[in-house]
Amino acid sequence: MRTKVKHICGQCEESFSSELAYLKHLCPASGRTPRNLETLSPKTKVASVLEKKILAAVQMARVAKKQYNA
Amino acid sequence: MAATVEIDEENGKDSSPALTHNIGNSNMGSADAANLNPIASPIAPGANSFEKWQLLHVVDMGTSSKIENIRVWRSGSLGANAIHLTNASISDYRGEAKYRTPTDDTSPYAIFPMPTSIPGSANLGIGGSLAGSLTKSGSSDFLVHQIQTTEAALAGSTTVMNYSYDETA
């Protein structure tokens, strides 16, 4: 049986636990999903990067709150 | 719509490998890494690069029904005192190479000179055979390649990897 492989997007360097997860991701570097060659508009690219930053900030805030409450 | 194809590279131990999809380059160097920085990881004269283990990956067939006849070659010349070897061959292909931890020892897989012009027929297999084909999403056999140098090798050459395949609508 094939060893479990970690999947990494060569454009944005995000890691995925499965090939399906990789194929479904919207790459902030290329502005498209791996299955879709159509390049998205710069606005969409910016929005997807912004969304990623917001999610990271929320995650950091949750961790900080948890540490503060501990 | 044409099929969507990318080049992938597998790195790391064969017990816990990582597959980097849609690599940005095929830089060869003294590290087992995709998209490596050749300035940070140069090949010392007399040494080999780490093997590259790469795949042609069809992520979506689009409206195509078959992908076959994969041909791989390099254009541009290496510097003197360096050779570029591969497992790809139109006449002596040894079937599918099973992934193993890339090494900078002399590769037992990359043993044929990398073609420097488009081969006349397939030189990289699918499912272990040069006559193989893909009718749904999937990957080619591994393309294994390595640069080997002598002490007299000089830095500075840049070449281009080329990939060709037939696509049936």
ipTM: 0.91
A1, A3, A14, A39: best mutation site toward chain B, by most B Cβ within 10 Å? A3
Are B159 and B25 a contacting pair, CB within 8 Å? no
A1, A4, A5, A22: best mutation site toward chain B, by most B Cβ within 10 Å? A5
Cα separation, A49 vs A11, whole angstroms = 13
Residue with tokens 């140069």, as numbered in its chain: B42
- Tens digits of residue pLDDT in B125-141: 999 999 999 999 999 99
- Tens digits of residue pLDDT in B49-63: 999 999 999 999 999
Q: Dihedrals φ, ψ of B133, to 5°?
A: -150, 160
* Cβ contact A9–B60 (<8 Å): no
Task: Decide: helix, strand or coil at residue A35.
Answer: coil
* Cβ contact B21–A10 (<8 Å): yes
Neighbours of A52 (CB within 10 A): 14
* pLDDT band of A49, cuts 50, 70, 90: low
